[in-house]
Amino acid sequence: MQTAARARRLAATFVVAALALPSVAHASFLPHEAMDSAATYLAWFILIAVPIAGIVLFWLVHILPEKFAEKRHHPQRDAIQTLCLLSLLFGGLLWPIAWLWAFTKPVSYRLAYGTDKHDDYFVHMTERALAGELSEAELRHLHDELDAIASRGSMAPTVREAHTRLERAAPATTAAAPAAEPASARGAA
């Protein structure tokens, strides 16, 4: 008798479980046709957008040494830029060399050319000096650097032109400098 009762309970459990389950299972909230078209659009997006995004990301990472060299006025930034481009062609093998080169201090370049800054730095600083954006100490430092480069005789044409423009404008900048100096000296005394 107990086995018959047990068998009935087991059969009732299976019937309740079968009724509780849905008759048709749906794995998605979308209808079948909509799911197919959504999967097709997603596949095309992945096939087109992901490789393009990967290439752009690879390129942006590989020009970082060039950007840092430009920001730090590295005198050999054009060579670093070329090495970054070559690194793109060689699959990134040269990238660590460009990265190290961008952050090294060019000691031998300073010995040879008298400066460790790119020529564009001096042109930019001359423009700022002519616009009156430099302090007296910065202006004096710029004059000293340009005079040191000129004394070595290794001045690039763009730097020579900037130096000439700065020397022509020097009476105006030096005339303004003594007027500011006694006022500050009086304020300190």
Q: Over the chain (189 residues), what is each successive 10-residue block's mean pLDDT?
A: 83 81 68 86 95 92 90 87 90 89 77 70 84 84 81 77 81 47 42
* Contact status, residue 128 vs residue 164, Cβ threshold 8 Å: no
Pick from 138, 81, 144: which is nearest to 114 by CA? 144
Q: Considering 86, 104, 122, which residue would you say is the last residue of a domain?
A: 104
* Residues 171, 177, 183: CA angle, nearest 5 degrees: 150
Together in a domain, 100 and 148: no
pLDDT at 108: 67
Together in a domain, 96 and 118: no
Q: What distance in Å separates the CA atoms of residue 178 and residue 141, rounded to the nearest whole number?
A: 17
Q: Considering 77, 104, 131, which residue would you say is the last residue of a domain?
A: 104
Q: What single-letter amino acid sits at 44?
A: W
Whether 46 is covered by a domain: the verdict is no
Q: How far, CA to CA in Å, does 77 sit from each of 17, 30, 99, 151?
A: 74, 56, 11, 24
Together in a domain, 89 and 120: no
Q: What distance in Å separates the CA atoms of residue 142 and residue 166, rounded to the nearest whole number?
A: 10
Whether 166 is covered by a domain: the verdict is yes
Number of structural domains the chain divides into? 2
Together in a domain, 77 and 131: no
pLDDT at 114: 60
Q: Considering 104, 123, 139, which residue would you say is the last residue of a domain?
A: 104
Whether 121 is covered by a domain: the verdict is yes
Parent domain of 168: 112-175
Together in a domain, 160 and 124: yes
Whether 185 is covered by a domain: the verdict is no
pLDDT at 49: 96
Together in a domain, 99 and 62: yes
Together in a domain, 98 and 117: no
pLDDT at 176: 45
Together in a domain, 84 and 135: no
Whether 22 is covered by a domain: the verdict is no
- SS percent in the chain: helix, strand, coil, step 5: 75, 0, 25
Whether 4 is covered by a domain: the verdict is no
* Contact status, residue 88 vs residue 64, Cβ threshold 8 Å: no
Whether 159 is covered by a domain: the verdict is yes
Whether 21 is covered by a domain: the verdict is no
* Contact status, residue 123 vs residue 149, Cβ threshold 8 Å: no
pLDDT at 27: 67
Residue with tokens 């390129």: 59
* Contact status, residue 146 vs residue 122, Cβ threshold 8 Å: yes
